[in-house]
A and B are shown apart, each in its own frame.
Chain A
Amino acid sequence: MNRNRLSFKIIVRVLLFCFILGGSIFTIYYLFARKTIERESRENAIHLAESTVYKIEEIINPAEMIPGNLAWIIENNTLSRDSIYAFLRQLVRNNKSVFAAAIAFEPYLFSQERYAFAPYAYRSGDEILNRDLWSPAYNYFIMDWYQIPALLRKPYWSEPYFDEGGGGVLMTTYSVPFYTNTNNSRVFTGIITIDISLEWLTEIVNSVKIFETGYAFLISGNGVYVTHPNASHIMNQTIFTYAKEVNEPVIREIGRDMIGGESKLSNVNLKEMGNVWIYHTKIPSSKWSLGVVYPHREMYAGLRSLNIMIFLLSVMALTLLTIVTIRIINRQIRPLSRFAKAARNIAGGNFDTELPVVEENHEMKELHDSFRYMQEELANYIADLKETTSAKEKIESELRIARGIQIDMIPHIFPPFPNLPEIGLYASLESATEVGGDLYDFFPIGDDHFCFAIGDVSGKGVPASLFMAVTITLIRSMSDKNRSCSEIVQSVNKTLTINNESNMFVTLFVGILNLQTGELQYCNAGHNPPVLLNCDREPLMFRNTKAIPVGIFGEIDYCNETMILDPSDQIFLYTDGITEAEDADKNLFGEAALMKALTENRDKSPKELTDRVKQSVKEFVNGHMQSDDITMMCITYRGKNGNKIK
C-alpha cells in the first residue's frame, strides 16, 4: 500500500469520510432511537400500570357490588330469616372471587332474643360451609372489619391479612354498613362483609413482567406490600421499612406519594437496579396503590443489541468498501504504473515500447496520448540527433583532414634552411578553429634572396581557410627573381579580386631580403606593421604604409619600401591575433604589451622570442578562449655568410 501512495491516500480519505458519515448517521439514529424508546417506555409504564389497575378493578368492582345488593335485599325484608344461610352459601358459590360472606347484625337487631348474630358462609376445600361468627371468644363488635365501617358509616376495605381458617391465603375484607327502615327512619343495622382472596390480585400484579427485572407491586393504604415479586416482603414489610432497609430515601418519598393517592412518574436511581422509571397510581375502590418499576438498563437493552448489530454490519460494510475501493482504485491507476514502466523503457532507448491500453477514460486517455506524442517526438528527435551527430562527425573529420592539409601548406620544419647561415627563423601559427585564415610563408629566391610573407584573411574558419589556401598558393607562384614585393602583392591582389563576391580580403606583408647586402625590400598591404629588433636598440615598429589589404580593389598600385638590415637585426612579424587577444573582460593585449614583451626578449633567439611572446599573451588572456588565429614569425639576419652568429 505504501508504494501506491496515491491509492493509499484515496482509500484512507474515502474510508475516513465513510466512517465520519456513518458515525454521524449512527449518532443521530442512536439519540433519536433512545429518545423514542424513552418516550415509549414512559408511556408503556403508565399504560401498564393503568391497565393493571383496570384488571384489578374489573374483579373488585363486581365484588364491591355484592354487599350493596345484599344490603338492599335485607333492608327490604326480601330475604327470609330461615333461608339466610342458604342464601349466603349460594352467594359464595356463585362468586369465585368471594372466599366468604357474612352478615353481622348489631346487638338485638336480628331478633329480640339474640344479642349477636353473624351468619357466615365460607369455603372449606370444595365445600361451602356456614356458621355463626359470634361466640363469646369472638366478639366481632370490636373487630376492625366491623368497628371501622360501623363508626364511619362507609364501606371499608381492610388491610390485607393471612386468613388462618381460610387455608393461609392472603385476604382482604370488604365491609359495608346496612340499614333497616323502622318507623320511617333508617337505622344502622349491621355490617355485611365479603372476604376476597388476594391470590388473583397477586397473580395479576405478578403477571406484569417488564423485561428481566422490571416488576409491579401493590401496597395497601398503610404502605404494606400486598404483592411484590419478593414474596417475603408481602405483609412483612411496608414500603417505608423497605426504604429504610435498603437505605433509599427516594423510595420513602414515593411511598408517601402512593399513600397520598397520587399518580406520578418518577425517574429515580436505585442502588440495586440503576436508573428506573417508577410509575404509581391508586386503585380507586380502595386506598391501595400500584407501582410499576421500569429499569432503564433493560429498556435500552434492545437498542444495545441493535447497536452491536449495526456496529458489526458497519465493520463489514467498511471492510467491503475498503476491498472494493482498493480494487477500483488499483484498476483505475494500474495504467499509471504501466506508464511509469513504459517511460523507463522509453528512457532506456526503447522507443517502440508498447503503451498500456487505456479505455476512453478521459484523464488516462490524455496521458496516453501525451505519452504517445512524447514517444514519437523522442524517436524523431533521437533519429535527427543521430543524423546530425553523424553529419557533425563527418564534418569534424573532414575539418581535421583539412587542418592537416592546411598545416602542410605552410612550412613548419625549423630551422628551415640549415644551409643558409645568414638566416635564423622561427614561425608559429595557432588557429582559433580547426582551420584558420592566417598564413605565413618563406622561401629562398635564387641564391641570395630570401622571400617571406605573413597574412591574415578577414574572418576565420572554413571560408577564411579556403581564401588562405588560394592566397598562399598565389604568393608562391607569383614570387620569382624578377618581381619586386609590390609586384608580387599586386599580382596576388589582382587575382584575388576577380570574382570575389564575398569581399574577403587579406592583409598581407611580403618582404624580400638580400642576404648579401642586408637590404630588405617589403610591401605591406594593410597588415600589422612588423617590428625591427636589435639587442642594442629599442624595438622599432615599421612605418605604416596605409595600403589597403589585397582582394578588395583590383587596380591598386602597392609601393615598395626598403631598409637596410644590420647583421643581428631581427624582424618580428605577427597577425592581429596577438594585439587583439582578449582576456575575460574584453581587454585587448595591444601593441604596447607586445612592444614590452619584445623589448624584454630582444636578445633571444627567434624560437625563444616567439615562445616568450606567446607566453605573455597566454598570461594576459588567462585562460580565456582564443578568438582569433595567432601567428608569429621572427627572422634574424646574421649578416653575409652568417658572420655574426648569435
Chain B
Amino acid sequence: MNISIEKTDEEFLVVISGRVDTTNYNEFENSIVHLYNEKDATIYLDCSGLDYISSSGLRIFLTLQKKVKIQGGVLKIFAMQPQIKEIFDISGFSSIFAIFPDYSAAKEA
C-alpha cells in the first residue's frame, strides 16, 4: 500500500494504491487522520492504483467521509478499478460516496 497526500489551497489530493486490508488499514488511517480536522476541505481520493480493499479499509473511507462532512468539506473519489467499484456497489457504499470516473469529472462536479 502506498499513500501520497498533496495539498493545494483548500484541496487535498490523496492518491492510494496497492491493497488496503486488515494488515495495513491502521497505517492507512494514520496517514489520513489529519484530514479529519480540515475545515471546508475538498478531498480528492485517487483510487486508480487501488487493487483491493477489505471491509476494514471501507470503514476508513466511511470514517473519512463522515468527518469531512462534519467539518463542512467534501470527499470525492475517482478512477476506481471495476472490482473496487463492485465492492462499493455490493455493500451499497456507492450511494454514500461521491464517485467519479476521473479527476476532471470530480473537479467539475
* B92 and A586 within 8 A (CB): no
* A627 and B21 within 8 A (CB): yes
Instruction: Verify if B48 is at the interface (C-beta below 8 Å from A).
Output: no
What residues of B have a CB within 8 angstroms of the CB of A4 in the complex?
none
| CA gap between A628 and B96 in the complex, in Å | 24
| CA gap between A504 and B93 in the complex, in Å | 14
Instruction: Verify if B54 is at the interface (C-beta below 8 Å from A).
Output: yes
Instruction: Give which listed residue, B56, B83, B91, contacts A526 with CB less than 8 A.
Output: B91
What residues of B have a CB within 8 angstroms of the CB of A457 in the complex?
55
Instruction: Verify if B12 is at the interface (C-beta below 8 Å from A).
Output: no
Instruction: Verify if A503 is at the interface (C-beta below 8 Å from B).
Output: yes
* B92 and A549 within 8 A (CB): yes
Please report whether the interface of chain A is mostly helix, strand, loop or mixed according to DSSP: loop
| CA gap between A525 and B95 in the complex, in Å | 12
Instruction: Give which listed residue, A503, A507, A546, A553, contacts B94 with CB less than 8 A.
Output: A546
| CA gap between A262 and B11 in the complex, in Å | 125
Instruction: Verify if B62 is at the interface (C-beta below 8 Å from A).
Output: yes
Instruction: Verify if A580 is at the interface (C-beta below 8 Å from B).
Output: yes
Kindly identify, within residues 51 to 77 of chain B, every residue whose CB is under 8 Å from any CB belonging to chain A: 52, 54-56, 58-59, 62-63, 66
| CA gap between A457 and B63 in the complex, in Å | 15
* A552 and B62 within 8 A (CB): yes
**A to B contact number (C-beta, < 8 Å):** 69
* A586 and B52 within 8 A (CB): yes
| CA gap between A627 and B19 in the complex, in Å | 13
Q: What is the 8 Å Cβ interface bit string for chain A, positions 515-527, against chain B (1 contact, 0 not)?
A: 0000000000111
What residues of B have a CB within 8 angstroms of the CB of A588 in the complex?
52, 83
Instruction: Verify if A459 is at the interface (C-beta below 8 Å from B).
Output: yes
Kindly identify, within residues 539 to 593 of chain A, every residue whose CB is under 8 Å from any CB belonging to chain B: 544-549, 552-553, 576, 580, 586, 588
Instruction: Verify if B109 is at the interface (C-beta below 8 Å from A).
Output: no
Instruction: Give me the interface of B with A, judged by CB distance under 8 Å.
Output: 19, 21-22, 25, 52, 54-56, 58-59, 62-63, 66, 83, 89-96
Beyond A456-B55, A528-B90, A548-B96, 11 additional contacts (C-beta under 8 Å) are: A458-B55, A459-B22, A459-B59, A507-B91, A526-B93, A547-B95, A552-B96, A553-B96, A576-B55, A586-B19, A628-B54
7 A-B interface contacts by CB (under 8 A): A458-B55, A459-B22, A503-B66, A526-B91, A526-B92, A548-B92, A548-B95
Instruction: Give me the interface of A with B, judged by CB distance under 8 Å.
Output: 456-461, 502-505, 507, 525-529, 544-549, 552-553, 576, 580, 586, 588, 627-628
